[in-house]
Structure 1
Amino acid sequence: MYQPAHHREDRLAVQHALIGSHPLGLLVTAGPGGLMANPIPFLVDPGRSPLGTLRAHCARANPQWRELDKVDECLVAFQGPQAYVSPSWYATKAETGKVVPTWNYITVQVRGRPRLVDDPVWLRQQIGDLTRSQETGRPDPWAVEDAPAEYLATMIRGIVGMEIPIARIEGKWKVSQNRTAEDRAGVAAGLRADDAAAAMADLVAAWRGAAD
């Protein structure tokens, strides 16, 4: 991943937090079947290896899991908040006119050697953990135990698990750090006009810039 120094985010806890808040990763493999990419929700287990271990499952009908057993490395990309940045928001526009559009985003990329898990006990734990991670906090949370046991056993037979001990992890926070404080203030204000971009507005306001 292209990594200008002022966009690097190397703090492991921050990287893991992004995976936790945006768990739908894009799993990419380049095996005998060629390039494959599928969106799959992941959990990150910080204590299973020095950089953490990703855990997930996919449908047995998905051909990508067979590729995992034939590759030495796979890539999982996690995408956080993102937003278009208009040059009209920069204070520099009025001063020099030397501005162009860009796109802000935060992302984490993970690489590691995958391991398949076809154990019903492991799979039951995995779907329980993943469900709790999303249902906790809801007024009436659904639990895996709410499904009939026979139905659940049938569903588990239809999935395959995977673990990916993280060998390399990169974080990139492109949140206008290369702009002046005045430009960043304008970007944050412009983004807040769109409710969908509020998370990016907060990131721009919180990060110090390389120009400070």
Structure 2
Amino acid sequence: MYIPAHFAAGPDVIRDLLTRPSAANLVTMTSQGLLATFLPLIYDPSAGEHGALQGHLARTNSQWSEPAIGESLVIVQGADAYISPSWYASKAEHGRVVPTWNYSTAHVYGKLAVHEDPAWLGNHVRQLTNLNEADSERPWSVDDAPERYVSGQLRAIVGIELVITRIEAKAKLSQNRPDKDIDGVVAGLDAQGHSEIAADVARARLGS
């Protein structure tokens, strides 16, 4: 990934990208060529030196059964949005401004492991569900469904685990703009309902 120094993501940004409830693209190189699947993932910091991303695929998805060649890649995406030059104070001063796109992303590389053990799968889907139901007023639990039904559903999936070897991460959040332009970006994003990335831009200015 091309990462200018002023857009390099720090440890806090990387941790947020890995731990927030989200889905990401798993990309593997196989003898059949590149394969990719968009799937929800959960981060386990205790697995390996750099942690691991854990998810599951439908058993009928051939990506799990095609051995990965070399490292596999998970592309994690944070909030993103178009940035209008009309939001910059600099536009009124000299007009030398152009549109851009703000975003944060991490390319997470690692060795892919496959899990078919029912106990691993059961624990995984409970953790994944609990993470995504955490903010619900009436959170659903895997145990709300009949045990026999859950067992059947687990037989239809295969667990995957990317044991992380390295991470390349970028946070392009207007760090290269003057403070008065950043004020305009935050206000413009908030006005359009992009509160999450507006907060990211504000935090990036503070270096957090």
Equivalent-residue separation in structure 2 for 1:48 and 1:4 (angstroms): 30
The match for 1:50 is 49
- What's 1:207 paired with? 204
2-side partners of 1:28 and 1:18: how far apart?
18
Unaligned runs of 5+ in 1: none
| Residue 149 of structure 2 is aligned to residue 151 of structure 1 | yes
Q: Shift in Å at residue 192 of structure 1?
A: 1.2
Cα-Cα RMSD: 1.5
Q: Would you say the 8 A contact 2:74–2:109 is kept in 1? A: yes
1:162 maps to which residue?
160
Count of matched residue pairs: 207
Unmatched segments (≥5 aa) in structure 2: none
Counterpart in the other structure of 2:28:
29
Confirm whether residue 64 of structure 1 aligns to residue 80 of structure 2.
Answer: no
The match for 2:80 among 74, 79, 82 is 82
Residue 26 of structure 1 deviates from its aligned partner by 0.6
> Is the partner of 2:56 in helix, strand or coil?
strand
TM-score w.r.t. structure 1 length? 0.92
User: How far apart, in 2, do the equivalents of 1:30 and 1:148 lie?
Assistant: 38
Structure 1 stretch displaced more, 80-89 or 135-144: 135-144
TM-score normalised over the length of structure 2: 0.94
Higher mean C-alpha deviation, range 80-89 or range 201-210 = 201-210
**3-state DSSP class of the match of 1:103?**
strand
Identity across matched positions, percent: 44
Q: CA deviation at 1:75?
A: 0.6
Instruction: Tell me, yes or no, if the aligned pair for 2:73 and 2:107 is still in contact at 8 Å.
Output: yes
Runs of 4+ in 1 over 4 A off after TM superposition: none
